[in-house]
Structure 1
Amino acid sequence: MSEPELRLLSTDELLAAVVGDVAEIRVLENRMMRKIAELSRRGAAAELGYRNVAHVLRHAVRWDLRTARQWVARAEVLSGPLLELPVTAAAVAEGALSGDHISAVAEVMKELPPEAERSVVEFALAHEPSAVRAFGRELAYRLYQRDEEPGEPWAEQPANRLRMEWKGEQLEVWARLDKITGAKFEALIDPLAAPRPTTPEEGPDARLRAEREGDAFADLIDLALRADGLPEHGGEPVTLTLTMAYADLAAQTGLGVLDNRVRVPAPLVRRLACNAGVIPVVMGGRSEPMDVGRKTRTFPAAIRRLLVARDQGCTFPGCDRPPKHCDAHHVRFWSEGGETSVGNAALLCRHHHTLIHQSDWEVQLHDGTPTFIPPAWLDPARVPRTNTRLRTGRHVA
């Protein structure tokens, strides 16, 4: 299709065309893997004087040796004697799974019985390869009751320095930490700063390392604010005060003002309202404060414990963030009168909490299960989705 013709297509049509092309490419890749498997079966490498088929392909098609080895390994999975995966082979032949999916399925099936293959493939048909690996680990644990032991805690040492300075609307933070404290900080940041799993909805994580670590630091702040025993400030636990007209908040227009005079846009205020302490202030005709209401924490500890038991972590499809990295999100926004209750809440990690507030994704609760309706550009039928990774037992054959 020529460039002018492509420009005439709608975004939905372009995405549908890309999906169709990918399916065709996968079918062609399956045919190619069958041919590679046949080259291995007939001993083509020895016939041509090479060590193995991967070295043949390295020269024949100018692949890096690592890439050539990946293709040979995947071909052996589908056609070779090392591991029989008939359900996977059938899905690949239809163009439903990629080469990376084959590698992921083969990896997890080494730890699972053959009858689990159908459950793994069904999961792979709706998720990216990294999610398949996580699903396989969880399934293996449920089948064999294996778990990792927690690591040893680091000892604590003093002599640290921290400097903070506001520059415009951003706070610049500089720190110098001793070896032990620095190691603990790295241990906290590293898992939070890992690239988000590649998903069909969002693709790969495009953030730079510094951006990922900055977001991880923000996650740590959220974790600290939810912890018990925080220091007091002005006679009460640390509280962020924000002033904004309720009508603007409900309509998602205008700006709120923090107590440090930083302005915050309405959509961000709505997200903060999901898990922040809120103090309602009634303003008079000349914006004079007439009445200050009692502070209420929108999701108290008792409700959060119930959400943790029910949701087990971030409920967005494909996400594996644990409960301690999640906010409680009002399914019906608090600013629109949504109740602060288990029946109107779902756990979401910081990234997906922001996504829900800023995109066309919708959240509903069906029989206590948070269900996500994708935007029309992603799925014209808008078929509801759930985070099946956190409910592995439902997929066991």
Structure 2
Amino acid sequence: MSSYPPDVEDFDVFDVSERPWDESLPDARIHFDLGRAEFAGSQLARAAAEQMGAIARVLDEARRHPEIYVALDDEPTKRQLGIAMDAAIADIAMRLSMAEGTVVAQAHQADLLRQRAPQVWGAFREGEISAANARCVAATLDSLPENAATDTALDAKAIEWAVLPPARFKGRMHTLRERLHPISLTERHQEAAKGRRMWRENDRDGMAWLGVQVTAPDAEMAWQRADSMARHLAEQPGETRTLDQLRADVVADILTGRLDPATAPHATVGVLIPMMTLLSLSEEPATLDGYGPIDADTARKLTKHAPSFHRILTHPVSSTILDVDRTSYRPPADLKRWLALRDGTCRFFGCGRSARYCDVDHTKGWAQGGPTSATNLAHLSERHHTVKTESLWKVEQGPGGILTWTSPTGAIRTTDPPPF
């Protein structure tokens, strides 16, 4: 690897004894900026390795010293250790504005590389292998049974291919994994099929991505069916949609039951729509439960076919919810509906779990005098509800449903309910 930052002597394109180094020359500027770009890439890799290693070390410390994150009177129980780890993961995630799953993944990747691919880990820390390629090595190791000879072979090959771009490097790693794996492909496929899943990712402008991981034969058959139906529709008189649009519409029609409403499963979708928008007197966006802002036309179409409405009284100017104070521990149905629409997701910093799968938590505990009202309730996932209640994390709720979270190590962040 060349030294950084680049020196004039490194650029043998120019004979500096005969020609002065002049940054006003375009070839000189290009040469310098290429060197700067290479140096920046090396520094990015070094920083990624440092962050990954630091995350792993924090979790190691939390595992050895759970008292930093949970109150202990004696030796920690298994449950307390688990809560301490969850609290530490949440602390890292909040400080780094990172998903908690990413925190766990990075710590695991660092451990894998340190223990099973020391050459790659060393090169990564020196900025000689990109973060993408280092993560690919970790993922490959994670999919292989631990074996000293296999790990050494993979480590050596990864160093040999370190300069390859990520796509090419990933292809080499895939081929190498097949050669090194001691378990048959049949057995591996049976195990991998257990991880099939479906997911959704929100996009901009009222759109979202819907993905599904299934076996390769099922994926091929599903694709062929959607493609065949789309091509059939494309041949119909007056059809103007593209094949991509038709395939997407076919899949959406099948999954939502629009093709056969009689057999469609019942699904409830919450929409918070301003009354003036509903009456077509305003184009103010509505809020779709689990997504966020949607345009007025789409909101009116959804409410047009709604079997029933739930009225929530709001202040005509400030939109503040009225009549929310309650004297019982459990919030009534109308208040729960409002809170679900207000929060949308778990209210812990960075958590995207839908409110419909979360607990309604009293920010100030009921036993400590906290009322059952919109000003003291918020949705928390089961995980973050436990962290908030049983670890040293603290949370306060301010006007407008704004939560202020303080971690056991002193980090402070606020989370706003939509529309932020």
TM range, smaller chain: 0.3 to 0.5
Higher strand share: 1
Q: Which has the higher contact order (CA 8 A, sep 6+)?
A: 2
Higher-Rg structure is 2
TM-score, structure 1 as length reference:
0.34
